[in-house]
Amino acid sequence: MDSEAVRSFVRAAELGQLQHAADELGVTQQAVSKRIASLERELEVRLFTRTARGVELTLDGQAFLPHARSIVAGVDRAVTAVRPVSRALRIDVLGLRSAQAVILHDYWRSHPGIDLDVVTLKVDDPHVAAAAVQAGDVDASFRTVTDPATLPRDLHMVRAFDSPLQLLVGPGHPLASARTLTPDRLRKLRIWVPGIVPRSEWAEFYDELVTAFDLRVDATGPNFGNEVLFDTLADSSDVATLVGARDRYIWPANYDLRRIPIVEPTLAYPLSLMLPRLNPHPGLRAVINHFASLAPLPGTVWLPSWARTARRSTDQ
């Protein structure tokens, strides 16, 4: 099996565009297409369907992707073993508009010479992300295994930073003119967070948040993406949602959505970085130090139970 064909498949799957994969790999789009076509012939399955927006994985492609990542990681480790220069630092984030990606971008801008590869594994179970770190598919992952007893022994987590929450509402919402809000003012509101995945770390977070402050978080309905959520908020006088203060979102200017800080206490989502205990990528130390340099949140902060006793990255 041609490892470069497998690599082309993985990057096309992660980026959703053959041209983007070609640009990253330094080849033509035609070369990427030929590699993937050859791989499909060898496997005797279709790995992608072509759409107007790019490519999407078939069911066979979805099944093959984690194994393909392992193949690429194994080749990279083999090459690194005989070359003095290691590959780019690869870190998994929940989304490219998430607070993790925003802060990593800030770090990269202040260290433009670093070879950094930011990816999204598109998995909800943190244990699946842990397996990807163990396999070397990524060097670190912004995921949290909330029960330390279930974290693989060869991995550990460092507390990266805490992301304060804001209430996001449309201009017709009764709280739209508020400059700040305390948690007690959120009671009885319909806070719509569609698509909370059971047993995910954020499902546990919202369970504790609801219990602690007697909130009404509505997770009904499938998650059709931020665009649909923002459409709903812009037209609604009673629906709100929660977003991270550092998360980067874009919506049409005429929506006039309002981000309102929550204070006394600040509600914060703790973010951890999962990495190997032994021989982590040498570039991780500087990234962790960057997190440790971030200013702590002011005032009283509420965190879920698993984060209250967790050590900050400065303790590692």
> Which tokens is 60 given?
């066979």
pLDDT at 164 over 60: yes
Q: Determine which helix (DSSP H) or strand (DSSP E) holds 162, and give its type and residue range.
A: strand 155-169
Omega before residue 265 within 30° of 0, cis? yes
> Which tokens is 303 given?
């965190």
3-class DSSP state of 310: coil
What are the backbone dihedrals phi and psi of residue 15, each rounded to the nearest 5 degrees, phi first? -95, -20
Give per-residue burial for 286-306: e unless 16+ CB within 10 Å, then b.
ebbebbbeeeebeeebbbbeb
What topology is assigned to 3-82 in CATH? Arc Repressor Mutant, subunit A (1.10.10)
- Give the separation between CA 312 and CA 316, rounded to whole angstroms: 7
Q: Give residue-wise pLDDT tens across range 65-103.
A: 999 998 988 887 777 655 545 668 899 998 888 999 999
High-pLDDT (> 90) share of the chain, %: 65
Which sequence spans correspond to the domains of the chain?
A: 3-82, 89-161+268-311, 164-267
Q: Is the dihedral of CA 181, 186, 221, 231 positive or negative?
A: negative
Question: Tokens 């981000």 — which residue?
Answer: 259
Q: Give residue-wise pLDDT tens across range 256-305.
A: 999 999 999 999 999 999 999 988 998 999 999 999 999 999 999 999 99
Whether domain 164-267 has CATH 3.40.190.10: the reply is yes
Question: Is it true that 89-161+268-311 and 164-267 share their CATH fold?
Answer: yes
CATH class of 89-161+268-311: alpha beta
- Give the separation between CA 112 and CA 125, rounded to whole angstroms: 32
Longest dimension (CA), the chain: 63
**Band of pLDDT at residue 312, cut at 50, 70 and 90:** very low
